[in-house]
Copies of this chain bind each other. A is one copy, B any other.
Amino acid sequence: MTVRQSRPSLLTNGYFRTDNETERFARRRTVGRREQQSGRGSVMVLTRMVGARVRRKEDPRLITGSSQYVDDLQLGGMLYAAFVRSAYPHAIIKRIDPSPALALPGVVAVITHKELEQWLKGAVQLGAGEGEAEAPAQQEDQAGPPQHELLAIDRVRYVGQPIAVVLATERYRAYDAAAAVEIEYEPLPAVVDPEETMKEGAPQLHATVKNNIAMHTSHQHGDIEKAFAEADVIVKQRFYQQRLVSVPMEPRAVVAAPDPLTRGVTVWSSTQAPHNNRNSLAQALGLSHGQVRVIAPEVGGGFGAKIGAYPEDIILAALALHLHRPVKWYETRSEHFMATNQGRGQVAYYELAATKEGRILGLRAKVIQDLGAYPKLLLLAGLTAMMSVGVYDIPNLSIETYSVLTNTTPVGAYRGAGRPEAAYYIERMMDLLARKLGKDPAEVRRLNYIPPEKFPCQTPAGARYDSAEYEKNLNKALEISRYHEWRQKQQELCQQGRFIGIGLVTYTEICGFGPYESASIRVEPTGAVIAYTGTSPHGQGLETALAQIIADEIGADFDQIVVLHGDTQSVPEGVGTMGSRSLAVGGGAMLLAAQRIREKALRIAAHLLEAAIEDVEYADGKYRVKGAPDRAVTLAEIARAAYSPGLPPDIEPGLVATDYYAPSGVLFPFGTHVAVVEVFPETGEVEILEYYAVDDCGPRINPLLVEGQVHGGLAQGIAQALWEEVRYDENGQLLTGTLMDYAIPKASMLPSFVTDETVTPSPLNPLGAKGIGEAATIGSTPTIANAVMDALAPFGIEHLDIPLTPQKIWRAIREAQRA
């Protein structure tokens, strides 16, 4: 997505500016390169790594296909599991007959809830990790949330819900046998629509949840009635946030094997949060954490769907533990669509009250979160509520949320989880307001931004924003996108019957959740470094970013740093990678551990240099006597001494440190995105002509990694705006169960993105860094939606729900023309 654009630009009639494309392809800076000098010691040539466009440590193994994913694991005597899944959205299970399956060759066992329940020794905790769970929610009343049974007990509530598990000597035999298990159902009426499910008379999913409302919250700030009474203009809109599926390149996969050493179990899982899985598995199986080792080997993407234990994780661990054999399962793509947590799934009603100048007086909103059949992440709607005011200084607020159950696959975290929905609503509202007032959307935004002098800032929605300069960020976006030139060009082209749309959004989001992260560093006697992080990256390039931090902080050779993660035995403490927390929280921990190494290195350097500790400093990659530039030692020399006899008795041998970082607050990255699209009325197609993303995530440890996250996030956010949607029929049958029906984007469907930055450090962590993993997803969906709606303005169309498919646009234009 960073290749040179060869299509002529409408604006310049020349070629696109390419935002220093050449620099992007510049070869990696010579950093941390060790020059061997004929065996007689070595010289370190160090420049600063943090901030450099360092290529990813992870890529050689990924590019050469030598990485090991869960499914690459082969264990002796391994069995394969396949799940029998509900064919009905809502039904009573009358009878399960495993005998036709057991008669098939290679089938070892068919396990239902009846067998499984004997192996469960404690509460079953499915769903999100602590990180996500920590975000506060204004909860008012909450029915005891119903638990997702590991295997359905006597009733199923969505298509794909696991009912039984079949074990066989080969995977295909297990899947064949799963299809042969005979289940007698008594179908019940199902409900799919999140607004219908709340109504009297709707089918009830759980006896403990009245009207299918699992949670209801309500939050007021200021005087919302007065705000609306005094308003010059009021803008209202209903929004629908379609459901999405994460579709990582690697689907979910689990291998579990008994561990004779601990009399527990080792589980390899394609997960974002191995420690959370360890805790859940231990609790469910009545084991200690020390008896459950969870390993996340190479993980091929997660996007939130791989947070938290699934029934399959716990069931496989239980099977390995009690059958004393290794067991493997990995989902088919169809299972991924049916049985892996989906994302989004909201309906929202928004009303904005404003003065005729465009100053917002109040926001009144109602958000209905579709949880699916079981609550996996109850606080989703709370996150939406918390981010409801976006970047705007809105004095009066009233927001109500309903989290409701339907006969569909459960909804959980999906890149952004609650915040993209909020950004979409408020940013669509800003455009609707601007249109109503006949004002430029950029200027209406500028008028309402929370000003820099108000930070840190407590919003009426209950969030505490750490730092931001929205107007500065806007100005940069307007400048690099040549926004005003485009506005003029838009008018000209409209005269020619061409429908250009310009979308602009300033988003913010909440990220960097705690409660903490851990890091350990060991400097080897040669000066090479092995580091352990409690985060569990799955494609983001965190090994590279953490190695950069370590290299700079202690003067280590970047190429000699190995960063390990994802194994609860190697790293007993950790939270994981989710909610854009890895760099800010995990990097913070690594920085603290590195600082401990540096402190100890300085003490050893003082000893080696025969200087007082206060006369020694770390500068330019070496440990030096202040004012005597020649008296210096390298990290390798210090490390050698640290492991050799002759250290002073008050210095512990070795050069090892562990530290934890518990953030004092969450972080709020932000940015302004500008998109220019063209809509073709004859087909309803949308072409994205240009896309500008000016993101502010504080200082960038590695701009290359940040851009990678931004590019991927834009692709995913644009896909929501234009293409992707999970669809059920009115009976609860999944219509989009394969990649033939669910439209994920191809690279050729996307433009060359222009990315830029402003840098507003966070005062809350030692790196000043905020998260960037979800930001571009959050900013891009409303940007594209605003751009398309802007292009459709000449037809008098005010709003269409996403995804803005050609069919939907084409129909809308036809209807508008008929009207």
Contact = CB atoms under 8 A, between A and B. Distances in A.
Interface of A: 60-61, 66-68, 72, 74-76, 258, 260-264, 279, 282, 288-291, 297-298, 324, 515-516, 518, 520, 522, 524-526, 528-530, 560-562, 564, 567, 569-570, 572-573, 645, 652-654, 656, 658, 660, 662
A282 B530 CA distance: 13
Contacts of A66: 258, 260, 324
B288 A61 contact: no
Return the 6 tightest CB-CB contacts between A and B, nearest first. A290-B530, A288-B528, A290-B562, A74-B76, A66-B260, A289-B524
A662 B656 contact: no
B288 A530 contact: yes
A241 B145 CA distance: 75
Given A262-B564, A567-B569, 5 more contacts: A66-B258, A288-B530, A289-B524, A290-B524, A570-B570
A515 B653 contact: yes
A634 to B, nearest CB: 16
Contacts of A656: 572-573, 658
Contacts of A72: 76
B68 A529 contact: no
A562 B74 contact: no
Of the candidates A67, A72, A653, the one having the most CB atoms from chain B within 10 angstroms of its own CB is A653
B261 A516 contact: no
A265 to B, nearest CB: 12
B289 A530 contact: yes
Contacts of A324: 66
B569 A570 contact: yes
A474 to B, nearest CB: 37
A281 to B, nearest CB: 13
A interface majority secondary structure:
loop
In the complex, which of the residues A66, A288, A297, A529 has the most CB atoms of chain B within 10 Å of its own CB atom? A288
Contact of A61 (B261, B290, B518, B524): B261
A653 B570 CA distance: 19
A96 B348 CA distance: 80
Nearest to A288: B528
19 contacts: A61-B261, A66-B324, A67-B261, A68-B261, A72-B76, A261-B297, A264-B562, A288-B524, A288-B529, A288-B562, A290-B522, A290-B530, A291-B562, A515-B653, A516-B653, A522-B572, A522-B573, A564-B569, A573-B654
B530 A572 contact: yes
A33 to B, nearest CB: 15
Nearest to A72: B76
Contacts of A291: 562
Given A263-B60, A515-B653, A573-B522, A560 B288 contact: yes
Contacts of A279: 525
Contacts of A560: 288
B645 A654 contact: no
Nearest to A562: B290
A61 B263 contact: yes
A66 B258 CA distance: 9
A649 to B, nearest CB: 8
Nearest to A122: B526
A61 B260 CA distance: 6
A282 B522 CA distance: 15
B645 A652 contact: no
A516 B651 CA distance: 13
Contacts of A518: 654
A658 to B, nearest CB: 6
A82 B529 CA distance: 35
A297 to B, nearest CB: 8
B260 A562 contact: no
Given A66-B324, A515-B645, A567-B569, A562 B522 contact: no
Contact of A290 (B298, B515, B528): B528
A523 to B, nearest CB: 10
Contacts of A573: 522, 654, 656
A60 B263 CA distance: 9
Nearest to A76: B74
B660 A653 contact: yes
A66 B520 CA distance: 33
